[in-house]
Amino acid sequence: MLNLIGPIAHGGEMTQPTKVGPRRILSALQGRGARVATKLHLTLLSTFYVARQTLSRNADAKARLGNKAKWTIGLLNERDWHESYHSSEPEAAQFQAEAQNPECPIRDPMITKYLSTASRTDIAIIDVGAGAITQVGYTHPGKKISITPVDPLADHYANVLRKRGVKLPFPTVKGDGETLLSQFSRASFDIAYARNSLDHTYDPIATIANMLELVRDDGVVLLRHYRDEAEGGEYEGLHQWNFDCKDDRFVIWNKDTHVLVDKVLGPNAKVSCSVHLARKGEWRDEILVMITKAA
Ligand SMILES: C[S@@+](CC[C@H](N)C(=O)[O-])C[C@H]1O[C@@H](n2cnc3c(N)ncnc32)[C@H](O)[C@@H]1O
């Protein structure tokens, strides 16, 4: 504090009054000016720094909010499509009948390959974005399989299937990929699986990171998705993310973002990917991804 006329209190002691002259006033003012200027400079700098941090955080938050808003609207279309399919398509009736058979074998060769070398007998699989009926299958020789199908539209799907009299061995439970860790314990599954679903989420990277947390140390995350669905679907509805495998690296991208998944997951994860080129009668190339925890 500038005090030109004293007396000044220092811890209760009184000092002598200071002699005041024009030179003293000028030098005191100059000292104060310098201190004020430095203070002002520091304040401006820290304000600028905080503003920059807040803006970039807000930009991320804004982007996430935008993704979620688009997703919430897209989910309504998704719901209507599945309702119409399960209520009226002849092919759906056959699918529903097969799905009620508890002997239905595991279908995806990515899963059966893992099972053929897995040491555990009891195998727990979480199917993220499973839809109304998990497509995983239920049995594999020598293994006791339990499936947890999860989907944000589970309640709606349950209503549709109830009307059709469908009773599943493993009904889909409600949940988002992005919030799996508030619903399930870490390291409680052998396989975290997703098929044609993570590119429908509002945050596929967060969902993949969650899936990796959910598997045991010797577990695996297995993903099967159509290549570049957002581009193919012209960014309509829930199709906001493209999945691809470029130079053997798993890439998630859209018009605003380009993410190398191994880079985001860091050294604790081992990510491998490959492309299954569409054969005659298959709709589109598929991107197959396997992620394990690094030793
Ligand atoms: C095209 S369906 C695929 C269903 C199933 N996996 C299959 O292969 O038939 C996509 C599913 O992803 C679900 N989904 C959308 N957003 C999700 C999210 N944030 N987390 C998990 N699943 C989501 C949808 O509700 C929908 O059931």
The 10s digit of each residue's pLDDT in 209-247 is: 999 999 999 999 999 999 999 998 899 989 999 999 999
- Determine, yes or no, domain membership for 289: yes
The distance of Cα 135 from the centroid of its chain, to the nearest Å, equals 22
- Considering its fold, how many domains does the chain have in total? 1
| Total residue length of the chain | 295
CA distance between the termini of the chain: 60
Residue 35's alpha-carbon distances to 6, 28, 32, 41, 45, in angstroms, are 20, 11, 5, 10, 15
pLDDT at 128 over 70: yes
The 10s digit of each residue's pLDDT in 281-291 is: 999 999 999 99
pLDDT band at 295 (very low <50, low <70, confident <90, very high): confident
Which residue has the CA at smallest separation from atom 9 of ligand 1? 131
CATH of the domain at 107: 3.40.50.150
| Strand (E) or helix (H) holding 122 | strand 122-128
Distance, CA of 46 to CA of 116 (rounded, Å) = 58
pLDDT for res 6: 33
Q: Which residue has the tokens 């993310």?
A: 241
Nearest to 99 by CA among 148, 154, 138, 147: 138
- Determine, yes or no, domain membership for 9: no
- Determine, yes or no, domain membership for 238: yes
Residue 155 CA to ligand 1 center (angstroms) comes to: 13
- Determine, yes or no, domain membership for 44: no
The 10s digit of each residue's pLDDT in 50-97 is: 666 665 667 777 777 788 888 999 999 889 989 999 988 888 988 999
The 10s digit of each residue's pLDDT in 5-35 is: 333 333 333 334 444 555 655 555 566 666 6
- Determine, yes or no, domain membership for 10: no
- Determine, yes or no, domain membership for 66: no
Q: Which of 200, 203, 223 maximizes ligand 1 atoms within 8 Å of its Cβ, making it the mutation to test the pocket? A: 200
The 10s digit of each residue's pLDDT in 162-217 is: 999 999 999 999 999 999 999 999 999 999 999 999 999 999 999 999 999 999 99
- Determine, yes or no, domain membership for 222: yes
- Determine, yes or no, domain membership for 34: no
Residue 40 CA to ligand 1 center (angstroms) comes to: 54
- Pocket (CB within 6 angstroms of ligand 1): 78, 128-131, 135, 151-153, 176-178, 195-197, 200-202, 238
Domain that holds residue 205: 78-293
Q: 154-189 in b/e burial notation, b at 16+ Cβ within 10 A?
A: bebbbebbeeeebebbbbbbebbbbebeeebeeeeb
